[in-house]
Amino acid sequence: MAKQAIGMIECKGLISLMEAADAALKSADVTMTGWEKIGSGLVTGFFTGDVAAVKAAVEAGSEAASQVGEVVSVQVIPRPHDDLSKLGTWIG
């Protein structure tokens, strides 16, 4: 895998995720690789980049999203296994 970390922000509502993505992309050198509609109003955004940048982006994004809605979960996976990319195209 070319990138060193995967970050995920799960929010209740698309507007919260849009706010999270905007803040995350502005705060660090990361790439948003996609998003998924989970159901029941939950949506998750996926970010890749080096570990420190992804951690900073996820933190900034979750803080911004919590100002306009509800953040359900955040997660950063440093150095993900190559087989993880088989789970979805959003990983990169």
Q: List pLDDT tens digits, range 38-64.
A: 999 999 999 999 999 999 999 999 999
Share of the chain above pLDDT 70, in %: 92
8 A C-beta contact, residue 65 and residue 13: no
Distance CA 79, CA 51 (A): 8
What is the predicted pLDDT for the residue at 86?
A: 77
Distance CA 5, CA 48 (A): 6
Q: How confident is the model at residue 87 (pLDDT cuts 50, 70, 90)?
A: confident
The CATH number of the domain holding residue 73 is 3.30.70.1710
Which range of residues forms the domain containing residue 32?
5-87
CA neighbor of 55 nearest in space, from 1, 8, 2:
8
What is the predicted pLDDT for the residue at 81?
A: 84
**Residue 92, domain member (yes or no):** no
Domains in the chain, number: 1
**Residue 23, domain member (yes or no):** yes
Give the pLDDT confidence of 8-17 residue by residue, as tens digits.
Answer: 999 999 999 9
Share of the chain above pLDDT 90, in %: 82
Comparing 89 with 77, the larger pLDDT belongs to: 77
